Amino acid sequence: MSVDRLDALLVEARLALSQAGIDEPASEARRLVGECLGLSPVTLVTQGTTPVDAEAAARLRMAIARRAGGMPLHRILGRREFYGLSLSLSPETLEPRPDTEVLVDHLLPRARAIAQRRGTCRVIDLGTGTGAILLALLSEIPEAQGLATDISDEALATATHNAQANGLEGRFETVKSDWWEKISGQYDVIVSNPPYIVSSVMERLERNVLDYDPWRALDGGPDGLDAYRKLAEGADAHLKDEGIVGVEIGYDQKIAVIELFCAQGFQVLEAVSDLGGRDRALIFAR
């Protein structure tokens, strides 16, 4: 019985992904092989003749087949990096995207200033999913305390696991809530990456999004603004004096979301573009 070698499996993975039309097949092949076999990038390069046992090779081939079939790489791996944190994914959580990091980038200086001024900074993340935004803020601001909310028990369990895995559980709490429904008290920073896809567009999303990200984390209602209405209506009562609100938005929603928040007495502090130059986030204050 022949034994698979590491270098041969790398070639097999690269060819399969290339034939499936995957972008950057060589890079993804190295990532899949390394992650599935628990090997470092250096080992992949320097120890190609290493034999791989049949069970491990079978697991790897299953992962390759899933990726070739369109399953996103990070769904296969079960985790994704966000702002330097390794975050586990689950079927009930949106996969964090690099573009969302720009919201964290622009919130951080303002949140740090609040923490320095007050000695603490209370943050609430509505619709937290993996906990990505809140955990990124907590990891960068030692004085901050965070509350993560979601309508999904599984999402909250995933966020809690991610807090524990990154050593942030001592400053991280969760509550199951439909937006503001179960929320009391006031916060220095209110953040959210809510569903904002127009309902009629949902079926036209790429399959690697529609088939793997939870529908309710994407569908923003008939005009994509349902969640923003709820966020804007409740933000004033839950925001401390001199606090800030930060939300991710769709590329064509800046004006509409600004109007919703301004109607509730807020003013725009900053409009943020993503890595591709598209409107991506807004920061408000009273």
Relative orientation angle of helices 153-165 and 132-140, to the nearest 10 degrees: 30
- Residue 181 has phi, psi (to 5 degrees) of -50, -45
Q: Is 158 annotated as a binding residue?
A: no
Instruction: Write the Ramachandran bin of 224: left for phi over 0, alpha for psi from -120 to 50, otherwise beta.
Output: left
Contact 37, 51 (CB under 8 A): no
Relative orientation angle of helices 6-19 and 54-68, to the nearest 10 degrees: 20
Q: Is 51 annotated as a binding residue?
A: no
Beta strands of the chain (E only): which ranges? 4-5, 51-52, 79-82, 85-88, 121-126, 144-150, 172-176, 187-192, 239-248, 267-273, 279-285
Maximum CA extent, the chain? 73
Q: Is 246 annotated as a binding residue?
A: no
Q: Is 196 annotated as a binding residue?
A: yes
Give, as one character, the DSSP assignment of residue 213.
Answer: S
Q: Is 170 annotated as a binding residue?
A: no
Q: Which residues are bridge partners to 82 per DSSP?
A: 85
Q: Is 150 annotated as a binding residue?
A: yes
Q: Is 48 annotated as a binding residue?
A: no
Assigned token pair, 171: 């400053």
Q: Is 250 annotated as a binding residue?
A: no
Q: Is 146 annotated as a binding residue?
A: no
Q: Which of 13, 55, 18 is nearest to 34 (CA)?
A: 13
Tell me the binding residues for S-adenosyl-L-methionine: 127-131, 150, 179, 193
Tell me the binding residues: 127-131, 150, 179, 193-196
Tell me the binding residues for substrate: 193-196
